Structures are given as structure tokens and as C-alpha cells.
Amino acid sequence: MSMADKWNQTALLVIDMQNDFILEDGLMKVNGGKAIVPNVIKAVDIARQRGILVVWVVREHDPQGRDAELFRRHLYSPGNVGPTSKGSVGAELVDGLVIKEGDYKLVKTRFSAFFATHLHSFLRTEGIKSLVISGVQTPNCVRQTVFDAVALDYQPVTVIVDATAAATPDIHDANISDMKNIGVATPTLQEWCGSGA
Amino acid sequence: MSMADKWNQTALLVIDMQNDFILEDGLMKVNGGKAIVPNVIKAVDIARQRGILVVWVVREHDPQGRDAELFRRHLYSPGNVGPTSKGSVGAELVDGLVIKEGDYKLVKTRFSAFFATHLHSFLRTEGIKSLVISGVQTPNCVRQTVFDAVALDYQPVTVIVDATAAATPDIHDANISDMKNIGVATPTLQEWCGSGA
């Protein structure tokens, strides 16, 4: 299979790179988030050059929180803008990340991008067999999406270790190890740039 | 709500306590598995005393591995009995754990007990709102089931820390921390015995 064919069957998922998760005053700030923004931008650039489908996975919640997980529903109340409320500045992508024509935006309300969404059917229709993951945060939305991708038999599943982040390096590393143990590839951005898919 | 009402709305999931995961010569041995067998037995006893529904979640695979994840499919081949092959001794529950009348057995082929199974619809029909988790192993089947349970709005979701296990204590602890961070209760067996649900 040629590289071009391989890349046509690959999608890059960019997960939750929204102001509320990344900015200093974000409502759900992930400590390691800001540092990876340049690498996520670069991963998206590489994907575009290769013809890899870019999928922007974002949380957007009802302003009343009716579609949020029970354990975070208390964050939404009248007169209070909860995390990644639909239409809020917090729900927007961070500066430097831009959805372009041909990209796809996927809205989710739970950790995994596959949970109660049409992502799997969309990717199958597009002929996608392999996934590359970037974004935040490693133990939650990144990992849940990765484990579901493995369960759904995407192969290979790749997590770019320095284009993903968690609250602490320890949490990030422990989760990367667990993912390695189920056959997930975990290159650095530089390694990924130098390789196929 | 009385304790009895609360326990009627609770299920104990016992995950993958099968010979292949637990025994010294098991094909997929989890190092920490054997040590928790007595605590899992005790958790089941307590559940029965309280009237908590006991659900036995097990992996069972086609002997040819056609329903196994791609990354472990190489373990199944003609003349080779792969891990938890249907009908094999490795697929049976370890000694001391017995399915009794009124319990429920749920067969899965992926990490999460909810992934492509009827578990959620069954539990809803039974009026279950709260889950307690035991078994192996913490980073994979236990954690995936727990994250899906949170996503599905079961509440509370409880992981008994000394009735679950991983390859190493470090992996176990890191995963327990991540689960705590999404609102999961993590009592010891003794703490759970002394508390409601």
C-alpha cells in the first residue's frame, strides 16, 4: 500500500482543545494543556500535508447542563456559564487551531468521542481504518477514545505523546503506559512526522 | 430511602475472575489477581446478604479468535487454545466463585462490560442505578467498565480497591487515582462492608 493510500485511511482526532480546557482562566483547565498547543498545531499541519482527515472533537453542553455527566452537573446553574457551554467563548477552539474546509467537527457530551456519537459510522463511511490522537486530557477523553478505538478494531491506533497532556506528567505517563500495553503506538511528534501514518 | 431500597438499586459486577486471568499458569495471568480472590468471594457474600444483584462479567471468545480484539487475535490459531476460549477450563470462574440462582452472567468480548453488550438495558430493566465493581484488571476491563458506567450516569459508581487488581501495585494505584478524579468511590472491602451500598 502506498503512503498516500495509507494516509487516506487515517484520521487525526484533535480532542477538546477548547479555551475552557487550555487557557489559564479556563473553567476546566488541564495544567499540561497549554504547553502542547504548538505541537497540536504542527500535527494538524502535517495531517493536512499528508491528506489525513482532520476531525475536531469538542465538548459542547447545554447551558443548563442537562446533557452533562451527573458528577459535573452542579457546575451548570442559572446565571452561571458552565464549562464548554454551547456558544460560550470557553467552548471555542484555542487560538491557532482553525477548522478548515474538508475537516469534520464532532460534538460529544461524554469522555469518549465514540460514546453515543456517530463518529464510528462517519469514519467507516470515509474508509478510515487507522487513528492518530492529539489533545486533552490523557486520562479521560484521550484514553477513553483510544480504548474505544481499539475495541472497535481501528488499527493502528497512535497517540502522539507530546501532543497530548494531563494535569501532571505522572498521570500522563501512567496512562501512556497502559495504552502501550494494549498495543497502541506512542511516538513523539517528531517520530510521527518521520514515519508513515 | 431505606438501606434495603438502596441495595435493590445496586449491582455488584464481578469482572473476569476466570482461570486464564487468575491462575499461575493462566494464559493471560494478571499478577495481582490471585491475591484478591478471597476479597472477591467476600464481596459476593456481602452482596448476597444485602440483596444486591450479582452480575458475573466474563470474557468468552470464539476458539478461532474471530471475535477477539485485533491486537490479540494472533493468540488464537488451529490446535492452540487461546485465552478464555469458549468451553475451555481457562474460561471458567476460579475456584471459590460460584454463580447462584438469581445471579446474572454477562459475556463480553471487549474491555468494557457495556461495550456492544446488553448490560445497560438489562440493568435499567432491573431498576439498577448504582454499581459496585470487583475483579481484574484495573487498567483495562475494570476501568473501561467504570468510565462507561459514569458516562451512562450510574451513581454512585464504587470500585472496591482491594477486590480489584493489576499487574503491579503502581498501575493499580495510578488507575484508582484517575477514577477518583471523575467522582468514583474507592473504599476498601472493609470500608464497603461497614457502609451502605
Reported CATH class of domain A3-58+88-193: alpha beta
Question: In angstroms, what CA-CA distances link B25 with B83, B89, B166?
Answer: 11, 12, 16
- Provide, as residue numbers in chain A, all residues whose Cβ is less than 8 Å from the Cβ of B67: none
- The answer to whether B165 and B21 are in contact (CB under 8 A) is no
Q: What are A27-84's pLDDT values in tens digits?
A: 999 999 999 999 999 999 999 999 999 999 999 999 999 999 999 999 999 888 999 9
Name residue A38's amino acid: P
A124-130 contacts, C-beta under 8 A, 24 or more apart: A126/A11, A126/A53, A127/A8, A127/A9, A128/A9, A128/A10, A128/A11, A128/A53, A128/A154, A129/A9, A129/A10, A129/A154, A129/A155, A130/A6, A130/A9, A130/A10, A130/A11, A130/A154, A130/A155, A130/A156, A130/A157, A130/A158, A130/A197
Question: Which stretches within B56-127 are classed as H helix?
Answer: 119-125
CA distance B166 to B171: 6
Between strands B10-15 and B157-165, the pairing is unpaired
pLDDT band at A196 (very low <50, low <70, confident <90, very high): low
Catalytic residue chosen out of the listed positions B20, B42, B108, B162 = B108
Say whether A43 sits in a helix, a strand or coil: helix
- Provide, as residue numbers in chain A, all residues whose Cβ is less than 8 Å from the Cβ of B153: 69-70
A157 — phi, psi (to 5°)? -110, 125
Residue A193 annotated as catalytic: no
Quote the pLDDT of residue B196.
59
Nearest to B69 among A69, A151, A175 (CB): A151
Quote the pLDDT of residue B3.
85
Please state at what angle helix A143-151 crosses helix B143-151, rounded to 10 degrees: 110
> C-alpha cell of B119?
448490560
Quote the pLDDT of residue A57.
98
Between strands A53-59 and A104-108, the pairing is parallel
Multiple choice CATH, B3-193, 3.30.70.1170, 3.40.50.850, 3.30.360.10, 1.10.3720.10? 3.40.50.850
> C-alpha cell of A171?
498521570
CA distance B21 to B9: 29
- A window 154-193, beta carbon within 8 A of B: 155, 170-171, 174-175, 177-178, 181-183
DSSP A132-152: EEEEE-IIIIIHHHHHHHHHT
Quote the pLDDT of residue B197.
47
Digitized pLDDT (tens) for each residue of chain B, 197 residues in all: 788 889 999 999 999 999 999 999 999 999 999 999 999 999 999 999 999 999 999 999 999 999 999 999 999 998 889 999 999 999 999 999 999 999 999 999 999 999 999 999 999 999 999 999 999 999 999 999 999 999 999 999 999 999 999 999 999 999 999 999 999 999 999 999 998 54
Residue B16 annotated as catalytic: yes
- The answer to whether A151 and B110 are in contact (CB under 8 A) is yes
Contacts for B81 with CB less than 8 Å, ≥ 6 apart: B27, B63, B88, B90
Average pLDDT over residues A158-170: 98
C-beta atoms of A177 and B155 within 8 A:
no
Average pLDDT over residues A134-147: 98
Min Cα–Cα distance to chain B from A70, Å:
6
Between strands A104-108 and B104-108, the pairing is unpaired
C-beta atoms of B181 and A111 within 8 A:
no
Strand partners, B72: none
C-beta atoms of B183 and A148 within 8 A:
no
- A window 74-113, beta carbon within 8 A of B: 110-112
B170 exposed, middle or buried (CB, 10 Å; 0-12, 13-18, 19+)? exposed
Q: In this structure, what DSSP letter does residue B138 have?
A: I
- Provide, as residue numbers in chain B, all residues whose Cβ is less than 8 Å from the Cβ of A183: 71
User: Which residue in chain B has the smallest CA separation from A137?
Assistant: B178
Nearest to B182 among A71, A147, A148 (CB): A71
Contacts for A75 with CB less than 8 Å, ≥ 6 apart: A27, A65, A68, A82, A83
Query: Mutate which of A61, A71, A170 to disrupt the B interface (most B C-beta within 10 Å)?
Result: A71
Q: What ipTM does this complex have?
A: 0.85
